[in-house]
Amino acid sequence: MSEVLAGPPVTAGPPGEDSAVPGASTQAVALLEPFRRELTGYCYRMLGSPFDAQDAVQETMIRAWRGIDRFEGRAALRSWLYRIATNVCLTALSAGERRARPMDLTGPSTADTPVRAPLPEAAWIVPAPDGQVLATGSGGADPADVAARRESVRLAFVVALQHLPARQRAVLILREVFGWSASETAQLLDSTVASVNSALQRARATIAAIDLSDAEPLRPADAEQQALLARYVEAFERYDMDALVALLHEGVTLSMPPLDLWLRGHRDVRAWMLGTGSGCRGSRLLPTTANGHPAFGQYRPSASGAGHDPWGLVVLEIEAGRVVGINTFLDVERLFPAFGLPAHLPPEV
C-alpha cells in the first residue's frame, strides 16, 4: 500500500478547466490560456471554492478577450489579467458572506448527536486539487517552493483568509503568496503603496490572531509520513478501530461538510465509526491530494452488491506523526470528477 501512496497523486482538473474562451481567436487563446492555472490558484484563495474560482477565471478570460487588442507586452498582460480577476472576485465577495468549516460554526457534537439536514454548498470551504491551485506564476519545481505553495492552500489557511475583508485578502495573497511588490499591488488595486502596506499589516495581524493548526503538507519523499498514511489506509479498509485510533491525535477532529456536525477526540470518533458511521465498513480508499494535504476518495460498498460507489473525499491533516483532522467532503457528484476519481470501483479480483 505504501507504494501506491508514494505514486503520483490524482490531480486532474475539473472538466472545462482547460477550455478556451468561447468565440476567441486562436491568437487570443494562445495569449490568455497560459495564465489560466495561476489565475485559478489566485481566485481559489480569494473565494474558497474551486468551482467558484473556475467561474471567476472564465469570466476573467471572456473580459480579457473582449479587450485583448489593447495589450501587447506579456508583463502588462499578466498584470491586466490579475486586475480583471481581482475585480471579478471582489464583486463575488461583495455580499459579505464567508465560507467556513463546521468547527467555525458550532461547538463539537457527540457520537450520538442526530444528523441534521445539510447546509448549502456556499457555506463551506471546498477542497481543490493540487494541480489546479498550486501554481503561483513564479518559482519552479524546487522542493522548498513546492512546500511553500502547499502551505498557502492548506485548509486552515484558506479558512483563515475568509476572516479578512476582501481587499485585505487580495493584498495578502498577492504580496505573500504570489510575490507581488507593494507598488505592483497598489497599481493593480488602484491604491497607494502606503495603503497596501497598511492593509498587509492589518491582514497579518488578523491571521496571527487565528489559532491555525500546524498541519503538515503532503511530503511524498517523507518515509515516516508515507508509512503513517499506509497504516491509516490499511486500518480503515479493514475497519480496525483499535489500529485506526492508534494513529489519531487525542484531540483529532472529524467533520463531514455539508453536515454541520463535527466531533473532537478519538473516543468520539471511534464511537461514531462504530455507530452512525458504521456504513463505512468495507470501504476502499484511493489516494489523491487536496490543498497540499494527503487525501483519499472513499468508496463505500455498493447497494447493488457489485463493487464500490463514491461516498466522500477524505482530506487528512497530519501533525507530529499523528492524524489531527479527518475532513470528509460529501459532495461527490462534483468533487470526484474534479479530482479525476472514478465514478465506480468494480469488484476486486
Q: Cell for 341?
A: 476519481
Q: In 3D, which of 114, 123, 107 has the Cα closest to residue 262?
A: 107
Flag whether pLDDT at 81 surpasses 70: yes
Instruction: Determine contact, residues 10/287, Cβ cutoff 8 Å.
Output: yes
Q: Which residue type occupies 309?
A: D
Is pTM beyond 0.75? Reply is yes
* Between 334 and 97, the higher pLDDT residue: 334
When mean pLDDT is compared across 90-94, 98-102, 217-221, the lowest value belongs to 217-221
Q: What's the pLDDT at 73?
A: 60
Q: Cell for 199?
A: 492593509
pLDDT-derived band at 237, boundaries 50, 70, 90:
very high
pLDDT-derived band at 96, boundaries 50, 70, 90:
confident
**What's the rounded mean pLDDT across residues 201-214?**
90
**How confident is the model over 5-15, as pLDDT tens digits?**
333 333 333 33
Q: What's the pLDDT at 11?
A: 34
Measured CA to CA in angstroms, residue 266 lies from 62, 182, 269 at distances of 49, 45, 5
Count Cα neighbours of 41 within 13 Å in the Cβ-side half-sphere.
Answer: 25
